[in-house]
Amino acid sequence: MGGLKTMKNLSKAWFQGSLALPFLLGFFFVLFTYLTVSHQFAYSQTPSTHAIQTNPFKDATPAKQGNERRTEDLKDKDETAKVQSHRDPSPIPKIEKNDTSNSNHFGGNFENFKQSPTNIPICNTHNPLSDTCDTQKGDIRTHGTSSSILIVPKFSTDGNLPQEWRIRPYTRKHMTSIKEVMVKQLNSPQEAPLCTVDYKHPALVFALGGLIGNYWHDFTDVLVPLFIASRQFDRKVQFLITNIQPWWLGKYEKIIRALSRYEVIDFDKDNQVRCFSRVLVGLEMHKEFSIDPSRAPNGYSMADFTKFLRSTFNLQRDHPIRLSENPDVKPRLMIIDRTNYRKFNNTQEIARLAERLGFETIIADPKFNLGVDEFAKTVNSFDVLLGAHGAGLTNCVFLPTNAVVIQVVPYGNLEHMAKVDFGDPIVDMKLNYLEYSISAEESTLMDIYGKDHPVIKDPISIHQSGWDKVAEFYLGKQDMRVNVDRFAPTLLKARELLNK
């Protein structure tokens, strides 16, 4: 019996040892792979002190929060003619803590994971304006300091070549000043770095810089596309921002926080490995200063964007005055008064004309340190907005639906540009649009160059000389003296539209 018992114990020990050997080999293989990958990506599991301790909203530099004109001086010679800047000191929605949990795993803990390196088109680089990526459902890991978004497969790719994209996450992809972000599919889950923070909601990676600081470009290049990309998530989306600009975030803080309930993360300084089930990279521009509902999530439109702004800034008026119901009330008209190029030389005369035609008229020059919130409320109280082609007309986003916008187009065959930049977007906002084109006699270019100069006699030849010449002459050297007799029918048409 003793011999039999000894044989049983030896057999049991041999059997357990034979099971332990593969386990030990597997353990050392995983340990070796982890150490190799960790070295390759140079990832650190030390928490990013910048992401934890720094609030970019609070780092806004006061000197840059006023109405800046520095970019506009360049824009009108380089298609950037629309600058205004306001500081936003008003209350904001409370930021909530992230729905995150610390984790330490290879393959993620996302349910129903079906991501494959070959079954879903990840990035779209065919849009002439913007390159964007959407990983859809999967195991996605971001690492900011290496500008990496890694797509982790559930299983090995078995020889299928994974793809890699280099994306400038800004709406104008040809701007080389924007740093590229790498979106890469891995070959196997073993290549993935360990997660340090795990999220239950998606992320959106985008860049600031480019042409921001210019009021029109702030909306056209960032705020409108950001609304398109993020509104669908009902504020449950994490913003990862490269080339972060604290002053810009401070200026538009209320809008940013109305689109995301979480503190933004400075992607360039973020050394965490953040794990998401979906990551969007880049912002898509459908067209200048507007939205194509057929391409937007949930069919969002530019009218939805302006409604969102009225809600965000608690603007009281959704509709302008209806003169048919209030015949004794004067409609309110705001004249945007520029103080540099393309300014009205007879603003007071225009205002007196409007008063004679039955308007209550205010001349506004929003160059002083007015907050976006404050000026939005002011604009919303008006029924008609009048201004020369330029940044000031961007404030039309705060008007009530069916209000009237009058764009005065400078001399020089600029009607197409005016239509693309403002005319079409204004109609998309469900506002009424009127256009008044300056004649040669109303332009100061006539005084400078005379009637026989090509600038006056042949604007087409100036256009054929290139954009630099168009910007130099027609945007950068021209002021306007509006012929009030010629302009009066346009104001009467505005009144007529308010009767409907």
Q: What are the phi and psi torsion angles at 466 (to 5°)? A: 120, 160
Please give the mean pLDDT across all residues of the chain.
83
Across residues 79-99, what is the average pLDDT?
Answer: 40
Q: What gap in Å lies between CA 300 and CA 263, rounded to an integer?
A: 25
Q: What are 43-72's pLDDT values in tens digits?
A: 333 333 333 335 667 665 543 443 333 344
pLDDT at residue 91, rounded to an integer: 38
| Token pair for 389 | 């082609």
Query: Mean pLDDT, to the nearest integer, of 87-109?
Result: 42
Cβ atoms of 194 and 105 closer than 8 Å: yes
Note whether 450 and 313 are within 8 A (CB): no
Average pLDDT score over residue span 316-342: 94
- 361 burial via Cβ count (<10 Å: 0-12, 13-18, 19+): buried
The predicted structure's pLDDT at residue 157: 76
pLDDT band at 371 (very low <50, low <70, confident <90, very high): confident
Instruction: Decide: helix, strand or coil at residue 183.
Output: strand
Q: Indicate if the alpha-carbon torsion angle 397, 237, 274, 270 is positive or negative.
A: positive
CA–CA distances in Å: residue 378 to residues 262, 363, 371, 374: 29, 12, 11, 7
Instruction: Give dist(CA 242, CA 244) in Å, integer.
Output: 5
Would the pLDDT of 276 be above 80?
yes
Contacts 24+ apart (CB under 8 A), 308-314: 308/227, 308/231, 308/258, 309/255, 309/376, 309/397, 309/398, 310/380, 310/398, 310/400, 311/258, 312/254, 312/255, 312/258, 313/90, 313/254, 313/372, 313/373, 313/376, 313/377, 313/380, 313/398
Q: What is the pLDDT of residue 60?
A: 59
Q: State yes or no: pLDDT of 77 exceeds 50.
A: no
Mean pLDDT in residue range 464-480: 97
- The DSSP element (H or E) to which 148 belongs, if any, is strand 148-152
**pLDDT computed for residue 71 by the predictor:** 40
CA separation for the pair 111, 109 (Å, rounded): 6
The residue-averaged pLDDT of 316-341 equals: 94
3-state SS, residue 382: coil
CB atoms within 10 A of CB 485: 8
Six-digit token pair at 13?
């020990």
What is the arithmetic mean of pLDDT over 448-476? 97
Share of the chain above pLDDT 90, in %: 71
Phi, psi of 106 (to 5 degrees): -90, -55
What pLDDT does residue 19 have? 46
Nearest by Cα to 195 from 109, 98, 96: 109
Which of 153-157, 400-404, 409-413 is least confident? 153-157
pLDDT tens per residue, range 14-54: 444 444 544 455 555 444 444 444 444 443 333 333 333 35
Condensed to tens digits (0 to 9), the pLDDT of residues 173-205 reads 999 999 999 999 999 999 999 999 999 999 999
- 303 membership: H or E segment, kind and range: helix 302-312
pLDDT exceeds cutoff 60 at 154: yes
